[in-house]
Structure 1
């Protein structure tokens, strides 16, 4: 990956907070003129650091829903079993995240469903047929006092940030 400098990190931080910023506003915020700023953004996009731009929705304002963290343990640990399970999980749009984890389970999923009944249908689809699911544990979220979408780039990478020229 190309070397990033402090300005690149400022661009990434600013875009996390305001992905709709115009290039002129972004350039002003990070201390560049418009043309070099746009070149940097295009480079950050081309190397895959900026994956997409989108809106963060207030799900609670759209209607009732449930968020459930789901631990999945597979029946065995053959490659084909992992692939079969992941293929199944990818087909289910309510599966928002799927993490391969250590510990007593193989995967941790974050599932968003309209209701517990719909979540139950998700579980049926996950474990139907030859998906390789051995055990599932569910944790219904009662509240989320801390939710963050913005990565703390300074805290994660500050020791590695190059000095500004």
Structure 2
């Protein structure tokens, strides 16, 4: 990885539909070497996927809930049992195994509070090993960054 690779990744986060020529121009490289670098970054797994960011608010009302999950036991089998159940719930759009006072931090989208409650009740009834959970309904999201700050994380110090 060199500075041009980082520039490619940073640019693609914001301009995923850019043509190879457009990308090459944006990062200061000719199209052929730019395409070679792009293919290598894809093959090596630095680029996970390409996709559209959907404006859910344009589709209708929805609820976003952050949920702290605490499991009764913490053996690998217990963690895997929870994850197996959570993976089957499409409304769980993020699941993070965290340190601190609870085990998992979930980001859940639902149609309503009652829909969210059905999701949680389904997890509780599925024997996923949940001993307690806390829910935080998102009222507003004044800062949401879709792109990672590649330059400040991995650029020159």
- Whether TM-score is above 0.5 comes out as yes
Q: TM-score, normalised by structure 1?
A: 0.93
SS in 2 for 1:159: coil
Contact 2:70 2:104 (C-alpha < 8 Å) held by counterparts: yes
List gaps (5 residues or longer) in structure 1.
Answer: 161-165
Q: CA RMSD in A?
A: 0.9
Farther-moved stretch of structure 1 (87-96 vs 127-136): 127-136
Partners of 1:72 and 1:108 lie apart in 2 by: 6
Matched, 1:127 2:124: yes
Partners of 1:129 and 1:83 lie apart in 2 by: 13
Aligned residue pairs, count: 157
Partners of 1:79 and 1:30 lie apart in 2 by: 44
Partners of 2:80 and 2:31 lie apart in 1 by: 45
Partners of 2:114 and 2:8 lie apart in 1 by: 43
Residue-by-residue CA offset, 1:12-50 (whole Å, 9 max, x unaligned): 111111000000110111111111111000000011010
Q: Which residue does the alignment assign to 2:44?
A: 47
Matched, 1:117 2:114: yes
Q: Which residue does the alignment assign to 1:150?
A: 147
SS in 2 for 1:104: coil
Q: Which residue does the alignment assign to 1:12?
A: 9
Q: Which residue does the alignment assign to 1:98?
A: 95
Superposed displacement of residue 59, structure 1: 1.1
Q: Which residue does the alignment assign to 1:108?
A: 105
Partners of 2:77 and 2:149 lie apart in 1 by: 36
Determine which of 72, 79, 84 is the counterpart of 2:81. 84
Q: Which residue does the alignment assign to 1:29?
A: 26
Aligned residue runs from structure 1 range 60-79, under 5 A: 60-79=57-76
Superposed displacement of residue 159, structure 1: 2.9
